[in-house]
């Protein structure tokens, strides 16, 4: 899963607070910007089958 919102990779050392951007680098310091949030579910999601079954049931 890819997010459009990125955060400065060095914000803890340089800024003291998160600096968010839509680009690939920090607008304040020029450091690389990384994805700001992990994917909501991992590939080893133990409850994935149940979650998908509930979603299908709600659609019907």
Give the mean pLDDT per block of 10 residues along the chain (60 residues).
80 91 92 85 84 88
Collapse the DSSP code of 37 into the 3-class scheme (helix H, G, I; strand E, B; otherwise coil) and give the result. Answer: coil
pLDDT recorded at residue 53: 92
pLDDT recorded at residue 30: 92
Segments in 1-60 forming alpha helices (H): 11-14, 48-59
pTM above 0.85, yes or no: no
pLDDT recorded at residue 59: 85
DSSP 3-45: -S-EEETTHHHHTSS--EESSSB-TTT--BEEESS--SS-TT-
């Amino acid at each position: 899963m890819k997010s459009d919102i990125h955060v400065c990779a060095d914000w803890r050392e340089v800024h003291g607070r998160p600096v968010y951007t839509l680009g690939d680098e920090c607008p304040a310091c020029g450091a690389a910007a990384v994805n700001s949030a992990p994917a909501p579910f991992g590939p080893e999601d133990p409850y994935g089958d149940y979650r998908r079954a509930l979603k299908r049931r709600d659609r019907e």
